[in-house]
Structure 1
Amino acid sequence: MPKIVDPVARRRAVAQAVLSVVGRHGLAHASLRNVADEAGLAIGSVRHYFADHDELMLFTMRELSHRIDERVRAHIERLLSPGNGTDRRATTEQLLTEFLPLDATRREEAAIWLAFAAAAHTRPELRPCADEMHQGMNALVRRVLHEAQRSGALPDDLDTDLESKRLTALLDGLTLQSALLPDRFPPEAIRQVLRRHLDALRSGD
């Protein structure tokens, strides 16, 4: 009997091959040939699941976003569930650290995301996806701050729309600095900066 291939699983496997190539060699090396070799497939098999290179890159960007979203979702469900005894401050910090390069997995994801974000400036086909992902992150941060304010954890007069932009910029900046200067921005230093910022929000500074 012919082997039955799950097309969704195969597309995700090819996307993982893209991520592996980009993580080791950079986005410029993620050609269809190199990705096919990484995935252990013939290049024709890759073309069977993706119409062209642009479609493959967009799918991979969304797959990366999906992985981060799955981790974040577990935290936000606890954070937004009323009356479950959750330590809101600790859960908020854990949620936000999912966007930061604090371990090998997240460092690799951050490096790959920065590569895609940089490419989006010169490759218009990637720009809508990059914008969508950044807007989604900002919307999540705004929701977290709004819920914290509603629960009394943040001052009533805090401008949560403005502060969500400031916090998103902080997360982006910490990710970039850690990627460029890992010795100066180790995981504990990143955590300290984030905690100081969350403390400042609670005091209204």
Structure 2
Amino acid sequence: MPKIIDHDKRKQQIAEATWKVIAEEGIEQATVRKIAKATGLSAGALRHYFSTQSELLLYSMNLVSERVKERTMSKTYQGDPFDLVKDALSELLPIDDERRLEMEVWLVFSVKTLVEEKLRALSEDVYVEMKEGISAIIQLLVNLGLLKEECNPDEEAVRLHVLVDGLAVHHLLHPVSFPQQKMMDALEYHLKSICTF
């Protein structure tokens, strides 16, 4: 009896192997041949799932975005509003091995979008989703009466978005000088500076 293959699961395994190759060797080394080897498939079998490298990269990067959204949507946010906001924003930061890998790959992918137009639309979509998510967090603070009166919600959403991106990049690029605790302390300091916690 022929083996039944779960094609969606196989595509995810290929995408995860792509992340690993990108994180360890860089996006330019994420060739079909190298990724096929990492997944234990032949290059021909891999091309059955993704006919081009761009198609594979798009799927792989989209999977990063989907996983972040799934984690965020599956959580039950309860308790202290400060911890709730910090926890929600932590989904966008490299606070564990899984998120670190996702962020490393996304950072490399983002640089690639500067020279490969086919990848830009996904990057823009994720940027807009992140912007909207952070704006929703600021609006939650407004609704709870926790954002300081002198703060402009729209401007604070922009500032928080830039801060979260910057924290992630600094921690990824300089983990010794800017360790995780410093990253989280900076986030906490900023939130306390704009809120009445």
Provide the TM-score with structure 1 as the length reference.
Answer: 0.91
Per the TM alignment, residue 106 of structure 1 is displaced from its structure 2 partner at its CA by: 2.0
- Specify the alignment match of 2:31 in structure 1: 31
Residue 63 of structure 2: aligned partner: 63
Offset at residue 99 of structure 1 (A): 1.1
Tell me which residue corresponds to 1:81: none
SS of 2:146 mapped into structure 1: coil
Q: Does 1:102 align with 2:101?
A: no
Deviation at 1:30, TM superposition (A): 0.5
1:1-205 mapped onto 2 (5 Å cutoff): 1-75=1-75, 77-78=76-77, 86-156=79-149, 158-203=151-196
| 1:44-74 Cα deviation digits (max 9, x unpaired) | 1111111211111000000011111122223
2: CA distance between counterparts of 1:120 and 1:161?
A: 27
8 Å contact 1:149–1:156 — kept in the other structure? no
SS in 2 for 1:51: coil
What's the offset of the Cα at 1:157?
Answer: 5.4
Q: What 5-or-longer segments of structure 2 have no aligned partner?
A: none
CA distance in 2, matches of 1:11, 1:21: 15
1:111 CA drift (Å) = 1.3
Q: Distance in 2 between matches of 1:100 and 1:55?
A: 26
Q: One-letter code of the match for 1:116? A: F
Amino acid at match of 2:65: S
What is the TM-score when the length of structure 2 is the normalising length?
A: 0.94
Q: How far, CA to CA, are the matches of 1:151 and 1:142 in structure 2? A: 14
Aligned residues: 197
User: What is the identity, as a one-letter code, of the residue corresponding to 2:42?
Assistant: A
Deviations 1:144-177 (A, max 9, x none): 1102201212135532222111111001111111
Structure 1 contact 27–115 (Cα < 8 Å) conserved: yes
Q: Percent identity?
A: 31
Cα distance in 2 for partners of 1:52, 1:181 equals 34
Unpaired stretches in structure 1, ≥5 consecutive residues: 79-84
1:19/1:60 contact within 8 Å kept: yes
Q: How far does residue 187 in structure 1 lie from its aligned partner after superposition? A: 0.8
